[in-house]
Structure 1
Amino acid sequence: MRRLKDMELGKTTSLCPECLKLLQATLYEREGKVWMKKTCPEHGEFEEIYSGSYEWYKRAEKYAMDGRGIENPQVTKEEPSCPQDCGLCRLHLSHTALANVVLTNRCDLVCFYCFFYAQRMGYVYEPTLEQIEQMFRVLKEERPIACNAVQFTGGEPCLREDLVEIVRLAKSYDFDHIQLNTNGIRLAHNPELVGKIREAGVNTLYLSFDGVSEKTNPKNHWEFPLTLEHCRKVGLGIVLVPTIIKGVNDHEVGEMVKYAFKNLDIVRSVNFQPISLVGRMPRNERSRYRITIPEVIERLEEQTNGEITLEDFFPVPTAMVISRFIEELTGKPSYDLSSHFACGAATYVFKEDGRMIPITRFVDVEGFLEYLKEKTEELRKGKSKTLIKLKLLTSMGKFIDSGKKPKDLKLGRLLYHLLIRRDYGALGRFHLKSLFIGMMHFMDLYNYDVERVKRCCIHYVMSDNRIVPFCAFNVIPEWYRDKDQESQGIPIEEWERRTGKKLKDDLYKRDVEKLKRTEAYRKFEQDLREIRSGLY
């Protein structure tokens, strides 16, 4: 029973975790946290943590900003229902900022928590090159803003023998960013493949990395150092992707960031993903493992002795303040990150004398964003673009504390090139000088919020060419992911007959002792010793 001191924050629409019926849900504050409550006539009441910090929730909410939607929606239904009627429809408020393309459901691992691999599904799903090319066409036809970033995922995409050809095909469609989502095991043992995918067009390896110890990261602990060193040799940037589970690996978030920071020449980002609790799970089990974005950041603050704090982070749609200014300046629709304010958060951390310095320590970020909002409004009212540019150029310095910023960081010049000259290479140079720390909390059926789905900007493109929000595709697989892939899949026996292969031969056989003797693994251990001894 809800207590009288619970403070209602608003209503939204959710789903019953048992029958998927659309339900009205209430968001409310209790004891400094935000909760969701919903009641199914058949399956009863569900109460779930929505955000571990009411303070963070309210701060993030200030930056809520909607995108412009889709000019050419795929769903032409007059009154579509979210999330039942995906692809992108007229209700959807964000363009595709990143498109996931599933290349296979085969995998070389059998992780206990994963339901998405061929052995368990009973069929092999692998779209043909022709199907993949049609997906690219659909993404490029999206209006008003065509998709400019794709991520190849699986299963394990490195099991595709034509992976390099697929990457080249994506490059031919002028995608600016091509990412490969991988456990890195095949790449650890095949440095030539690392070079080939880099040359073909992959510019970011989205690499699973659930911890710095054998216990927290049994998936690729021993192979990860080899993959990193191979990427270093060919200049292929890495994003470390830890899935954070309370009581399992949340005690290592600080060391993960410190390790990334120590390898800043090749690690571009750490993108933490608080666990999405898929499947049916009783409340006590959910409470045991559930962790939310502000709670991960709180762990990070504790484990870095306050070098990185909650106040250093901003929600994803904050970036729209910048993109809307550029849009008014150019008169052209701009790439937006218009996700819901509760979906993600991020900050930039710079290096100075071995210390981690978040951007907020030498930039008045909030003041600068307010200034950009003012200038955007002036542009909307018809003020001279030349005058606005001059004002911005002369005013940027007052938001930067030159005495506290890293000595070799020419931030004013970088911002000038990005905002005034619209040189997006400047953004790349900015990333090379910093570590981007991101948080992205994908939903599950217990905390499902349809308002977040409507604003999702990370999508999947399916074999029938529908573009579907991440948390519809993965959280309701019977409607989207599994339904689509089963319709295109080949029964395992038939796949084995056609290919002459055995699916079980994909499974990885690890020689731990041999891997421990590699120079890369020894370097990894040395890095951790230095971090733990306080030398770094």
Structure 2
Amino acid sequence: MHKPVKYVEKAVTVAASGAWAIFERLNRIKPNPSPKPKWSDKPLLKSYEKTKPPLGWPRTTDSLCPKCVPEIRQQILDGKLPHEVLLNEKVGEIKAQIIERDDGKILMVKDCPKHGHFEDVMSIDPNFSRHLEEVFPGRDIRAHNDEKLHNHGSSTVKYGRGSVLTIDLTNRCNMMCDPCFMDANQVGFVHELSWEDIKTMLDNAITIKPRRQMSVQFSGGEPTLSPYFLDAVRYARKVGYNSVQAATNGIEFAKSLEFAQQAADAGMRYAYLQFDGIGNAANAHRKVGNLFDVKLKAIDNLHKAGVEIVPVVTIVNGINNEQVGRIIQFALDNPKKIGFLSFQPVSFTGRDEAITDERRIAQRYTLSHLAHDVKNQTGLGEPSRDWFPISFMGTFSDWADLMHVEDKNNDWGQLSCGCHPNCGTGMAVMIDKETMEAVPVTAFLHGDQLAKDIAKVNDAARGKFLTIVGMALCLMKNYDPFQSPTHFKLMDLLKKFDKNFNATGKNYGKVGPDRTIDDVMKRRQDRWNFLFIAGMWFQDLFNYDFRRTEQCIIPYATQEGEISFCAYNTGVGWRNIIEKMHMTSTLTKWYEEHGRHEIFAGGKKVQMESTEHSLVLKDGIVTKEEQRDLDKLGIAKNAREEKLRARDAKQKNDPAYNARMASLYREVVLKEKPVVAENGFIPLGALTPANGSKPKPEVGEPVLGD
């Protein structure tokens, strides 16, 4: 039996459906042309004007050869080829087909005339992937006024403005773990931005149109190691960005509440916190003895300081895929502190670019794996009902752009996640902070139809008042009060949208550059936590698709312009080239001038004043033992293990090496006398040194981390 208010709300939704029928019919009469906002030289796009890349399968796309690219990149790094070859030629490019196999998997298959055949899994659920592509609303406004910053050959970003502008402040890190996009601490040199570099990148960023709000993300390495970290956060807010975040391992924030407060005072809004599982055992592959304790303390300190926390989980099959449900449960148990989860299926790049086929197949994890693991491990969500491409929110951003287009101080467009539907997906869960009840939003709000209805409101372009009225009708007609959380009301839904898009002008707490801790606390008073569970799958050389690159929403700002996330870290590998071109110092020289920074590796623990925290941590979700799936299969877990195995195999098959080891074993362990040849001479290799010391066993090729 439902509460009486639910029946009243049901009547309202029925009435809204009738009102919508009239409203929509009138809206179709002579719709207004799309307005041109101040932040774009091109008009807003109507839904039917948006373009889409080729979708569905089978389809052909442009990809890269996993063997050609590293070879050519090395020639550029060695000075044998100019880097301009990447601008003018299709380096390492080959055609690829995306197909569905009889076993129900979607694969990318491709053939290189030099290196042969490659294939990799794109999805284990065709229905899930088909759903994501079918509800994709289309590309954003084409990028313009960007010729100087977007000029990277086939890797050039062509559409929209992006949603997260990433700036690597340094390639130094206080950890040395796997996986790692940039192979931090192991490239032999330091690449660290100067203050002028940072200012130039941020100043340049606001010249590209459409000029949309983005979340400026300072990354690394570990961005908190940069001497300019706090100044960079402050300057990003100064130029007009509402959101500034740090992609961090949390060590410095765990060590010091004061540092967390300094970051918040500078304007840091989000901590994009590396977070691989619940319990120290679940984080053991990162090789820090108390890493989970560090995460808990970092979350506690950051929350106290007024910074919002986004746990970011790199999911590797066989390493921590069993943690998906535990991490979500942790977020559900702490709705006042966590409102967003970002799962990132592993991308084999950086330390893992030369991965063996055996390990790649075993560790591959896709967005479809994520959707099914969430359902199987938590019971939340149906993959083909409750999950949508991240770009699905573009329709809502379009509505907000239209609503605010005539506002006096409307100098920025809405943040818009216009990425390819194969890039990212998400599911929203509404949580009652008081009772902890959690329900997928699309269980009580019909997402597919809602987006279609809002697109009709946008296409009519009737001005601010009617645009708001249209949205209200859309929400009411697509709302099912009987499926919503027990204490959730229709008015709560309308307030949520108003809070996010500022339709009525009501003050829920400011989010702009002048935001204060009082604004943060005011926004936190909301009883309802809109927990967004996102999956963002970055490409690697085995599944690279240039159609995704063209729509990238996470560009890197560099000394050579803004480059797609995947083109920078994977793809042709602009990171390696640009960091070498603009190298700050060799590692040896840096250590001589600045000393060594502390690195936590090999099980070393982070020293903190206290490990006390205020988070809810139920015993049932804490992992006691490291996941051992790959050990049972006899498959290496990371690049270092692969190198060790390759070295051991090479030595095992070397007759000369084995003979030397056997001779040493007989002499040193069994105390046998050296073998004397028939001519009376003792073989040179069997002689004991004149000083009486015993011969030392041959040491194999060193592997980093030994």
Q: Is the shorter-chain TM-score for this pair beyond 0.5, marking a shared fold?
A: yes
Equivalent in 315, 328, 336 of residue 416 of structure 2: 336
Instruction: Give the Cα–Cα distance (whole angstroms) in 1 for the partners of residues 527 and 316 of structure 2.
Output: 28
CA RMSD of aligned residues (A): 2.9
Residue 294 of structure 1, CA deviation: 1.3
Residue 213 of structure 1, CA deviation: 2.8
**Normalised TM-score (structure 2):** 0.67
For the Cα contact (< 8 Å) 1:52–1:291, is it kept in 2?
no
Instruction: Give the Cα–Cα distance (whole angstroms) in 2 for the partners of residues 419 and 233 of structure 1.
Output: 26
For the Cα contact (< 8 Å) 1:268–1:431, is it kept in 2?
no
Cα gap change, 1:425/1:475 in structure 2, threshold over 3 Å: closer, same or farther?
Answer: farther
Equivalent in 277, 301, 306 of residue 348 of structure 2: 277
For the Cα contact (< 8 Å) 1:350–1:434, is it kept in 2?
yes
Cα gap change, 1:457/1:254 in structure 2, threshold over 3 Å: closer, same or farther?
Answer: same
User: Which one-letter code corresponds to 1:456 in the other structure?
Assistant: C
Cα gap change, 1:8/1:358 in structure 2, threshold over 3 Å: closer, same or farther?
Answer: closer
For the Cα contact (< 8 Å) 1:273–1:441, is it kept in 2?
yes
- Name the counterpart of 2:533: 437
Cα gap change, 1:335/1:191 in structure 2, threshold over 3 Å: closer, same or farther?
Answer: closer
Q: Does 1:483 align with 2:577?
A: yes
Secondary structure of the corresponding residue to residue 341 of structure 1: coil
Instruction: Give the Cα–Cα distance (whole angstroms) in 2 for the partners of residues 55 and 358 of structure 1.
Output: 19
- Name the counterpart of 2:59: 10
Cα gap change, 1:150/1:423 in structure 2, threshold over 3 Å: closer, same or farther?
Answer: farther
Q: Does 1:528 align with 2:618?
A: yes
Q: Does 1:299 align with 2:299?
A: no
User: Which one-letter code corresponds to 1:54 in the other structure?
Assistant: P
Residue 334 of structure 1, CA deviation: 4.6
Equivalent in 135, 138, 143 of residue 63 of structure 1: 135
- Name the counterpart of 2:108: 36
Cα gap change, 1:288/1:431 in structure 2, threshold over 3 Å: closer, same or farther?
Answer: farther
- Counting only pairs closer than 5 Å after superposition, residues 366-515 of structure 1 correspond to structure 2 as 366-379=448-461, 383=462, 386-406=465-485, 407-408=487-488, 410-416=492-498, 421=503, 433-464=529-560, 466-476=561-571, 478=573, 480-489=574-583, 490-499=585-594, 501-503=595-597, 505-507=598-600, 512=605
Cα gap change, 1:95/1:423 in structure 2, threshold over 3 Å: closer, same or farther?
Answer: farther
Where structure 1 has 5 or more consecutive residues not aligned to the other structure, the ranges are 1-6
Q: Does 1:253 align with 2:332?
A: no
Residue 509 of structure 1, CA deviation: 8.7
Instruction: Give the Cα–Cα distance (whole angstroms) in 1 for the partners of residues 527 and 109 of structure 2.
Output: 40
Secondary structure of the corresponding residue to residue 216 of structure 1: helix
Instruction: Give the Cα–Cα distance (whole angstroms) in 1 for the partners of residues 446 and 227 of structure 2.
Output: 49
How many matched pairs?
510
Instruction: Give the Cα–Cα distance (whole angstroms) in 1 for the partners of residues 173 and 474 of structure 2.
Output: 53
User: Which one-letter code corresponds to 2:588 in the other structure?
Assistant: E
Residue 401 of structure 1, CA deviation: 2.1
User: Which one-letter code corresponds to 1:453 in the other structure?
Assistant: T
For the Cα contact (< 8 Å) 2:326–2:621, is it kept in 1?
yes
- Name the counterpart of 1:228: 299
Instruction: Give the Cα–Cα distance (whole angstroms) in 1 for the partners of residues 126 and 67 of structure 2.
Output: 28
Instruction: Give the Cα–Cα distance (whole angstroms) in 1 for the partners of residues 588 and 506 of structure 2.
Output: 49
Residue 495 of structure 1, CA deviation: 1.7
Instruction: Give the Cα–Cα distance (whole angstroms) in 2 for the partners of residues 158 and 329 of structure 1.
Output: 38
**Normalised TM-score (structure 1):** 0.87
Residue 350 of structure 1, CA deviation: 1.6
Equivalent in 46, 51, 54 of residue 118 of structure 2: 46
Secondary structure of the corresponding residue to residue 555 of structure 2: strand
Q: Does 1:262 align with 2:333?
A: yes
Cα gap change, 1:244/1:420 in structure 2, threshold over 3 Å: closer, same or farther?
Answer: closer
Instruction: Give the Cα–Cα distance (whole angstroms) in 2 for the partners of residues 483 and 425 of structure 1.
Output: 47
Instruction: Give the Cα–Cα distance (whole angstroms) in 1 for the partners of residues 586 and 606 of structure 2.
Output: 37
Deviations 1:377-415 (A, max 9, x none): 223xxx566445434434532222234333255112333
Secondary structure of the corresponding residue to residue 217 of structure 1: helix
Q: Does 1:243 align with 2:314?
A: yes
User: Which one-letter code corresponds to 2:104 in the other structure?
Assistant: G
Residue 206 of structure 1, CA deviation: 0.4
Cα gap change, 1:387/1:424 in structure 2, threshold over 3 Å: closer, same or farther?
Answer: closer
Deviations 1:440-477 (A, max 9, x none): 0001000000100011111100023x000000000046
For the Cα contact (< 8 Å) 2:458–2:467, is it kept in 1?
no
Cα gap change, 1:511/1:114 in structure 2, threshold over 3 Å: closer, same or farther?
Answer: closer
Q: Does 1:323 align with 2:397?
A: yes
Identity of counterpart residues, as a percentage? 25
Cα gap change, 1:124/1:56 in structure 2, threshold over 3 Å: closer, same or farther?
Answer: same
For the Cα contact (< 8 Å) 2:189–2:586, is it kept in 1?
yes
Deviations 1:477-510 (A, max 9, x none): 64x11211122221112222333x125x445697
User: Which one-letter code corresponds to 2:554 in the other structure?
Assistant: I
Instruction: Give the Cα–Cα distance (whole angstroms) in 2 for the partners of residues 395 and 527 of structure 1.
Output: 39
For the Cα contact (< 8 Å) 1:477–1:483, is it kept in 2?
no
- Name the counterpart of 1:3: none
For the Cα contact (< 8 Å) 2:135–2:448, is it kept in 1?
no
Instruction: Give the Cα–Cα distance (whole angstroms) in 2 for the partners of residues 226 and 343 of structure 1.
Output: 32
Residue 330 of structure 1, CA deviation: 4.3
Where structure 2 has 5 or more consecutive residues not aligned to the other structure, the ranges are 1-55, 70-91, 407-412, 512-522, 624-706
Instruction: Give the Cα–Cα distance (whole angstroms) in 2 for the partners of residues 77 and 150 of structure 1.
Output: 18
User: Which one-letter code corresponds to 1:121 in the other structure?
Assistant: V
Cα gap change, 1:151/1:28 in structure 2, threshold over 3 Å: closer, same or farther?
Answer: same
Cα gap change, 1:58/1:529 in structure 2, threshold over 3 Å: closer, same or farther?
Answer: same
Q: Does 1:23 align with 2:94?
A: yes
Deviations 1:249-272 (A, max 9, x none): 111100101101211111121100
Instruction: Give the Cα–Cα distance (whole angstroms) in 2 for the partners of residues 420 and 235 of structure 1.
Output: 21
For the Cα contact (< 8 Å) 2:167–2:556, is it kept in 1?
yes
For the Cα contact (< 8 Å) 1:99–1:147, is it kept in 2?
no
User: Which one-letter code corresponds to 1:364 in the other structure?
Assistant: H
Cα gap change, 1:416/1:113 in structure 2, threshold over 3 Å: closer, same or farther?
Answer: closer
- Name the counterpart of 1:208: 274
Instruction: Give the Cα–Cα distance (whole angstroms) in 2 for the partners of residues 52 and 369 of structure 1.
Output: 26
Cα gap change, 1:324/1:267 in structure 2, threshold over 3 Å: closer, same or farther?
Answer: same
Equivalent in 166, 182, 185 of residue 232 of structure 2: 166
Instruction: Give the Cα–Cα distance (whole angstroms) in 2 for the partners of residues 165 and 75 of structure 1.
Output: 26
